[in-house]
Amino acid sequence: MTKAAKGTPMTEERTSNAASGLAVPPTGNKRWYVVHAYSGMEKAVERNLRERIDRAGMQEKFGRILVPMEEVVELKNGKKAVTERRFFPGYVLVEMEMGDDTWHLVKHTSKVTGFVGGAKNRPSPISESEVMKIVNQMQEGIEKPRPKVEWVVGELVRVKEGPFTDFNGAIEEVNYDKSKVRVSVTIFGRATPVELDFSQVEKI
């Protein structure tokens, strides 16, 4: 897989291919294991693991490496921007044959703190169904990115931009496609519905 430039979100096609490729069950004696990494260093752990596997010539004992990510939509300067968010911060999934050599390779990779579950030097694999849940969640995030901030009808918000700045009101309707909310604002004692961009309101 071609690496994305630093700070550049993966394209939908590449992310989609990565997620759909994981829908294949592990082969041979390989199982999925959860590796704990320093939070924010998950992608670095993925890179470090791949480099160490290549240097050690252990490609046959390792399969796929997955950093669980989802895409989220946020407004930046009035424009929609799609970014990636880790939904299991600090965790990386590794498909591998468990043995002393592979355990040592992963355990002594930079930014890795250890395996999750099982005995200290004999971690327990997670089930294929657990991996599929994560893959499905990633796929859903690709097909329909979630908003970074979620709004709820009835929620009280404060207007922070525009002619109604500092007015409070309740959300009557949310339109994620247009990134707008309709807020009932009380003006001169009368409730008035006002359509606002997500960027113009904040949660109270």
- The string of pLDDT tens digits covering residues 92-124 is 999 999 999 999 999 999 999 999 887 777 899
CB atoms within 10 A of CB 63: 19
Structure tokens at 161: 């931009």
Predicted pLDDT of residue 59: 95
Distance CA 76, CA 82 (A): 10
Say if residue 85's pLDDT is above 70. Answer: yes
Q: Do residues 65 and 49 touch, judged by C-beta distance below 8 A?
A: yes
Say if residue 17's pLDDT is above 60. Answer: no
Strand order in the sheet with 156-159: 190-197, 180-187, 168-175, 156-159, 201-203
* Closest C-alpha to 15, from 147, 141, 146, 177: 141
Q: State the chain's mean pLDDT as an integer.
A: 81
Each residue's pLDDT tens digit, 35-80: 999 988 999 999 999 999 999 999 999 999 999 887 776 666 666 7
- As a dihedral over the C-alpha atoms of residue 100, residue 30, residue 131, residue 104, rounded to 10 degrees, the angle is 20
> What pTM was computed for the model?
0.59
Distances in Å between the Cα of 14 and the Cα atoms of 1, 69, 142, 159, 162 are 8, 13, 10, 38, 39
144-179 exposure pattern, b = at least 16 Cβ within 10 A, e = fewer: ebeeeeebeeebebbbeeeebeebebebeebeeeeb
Predicted pLDDT of residue 14: 39
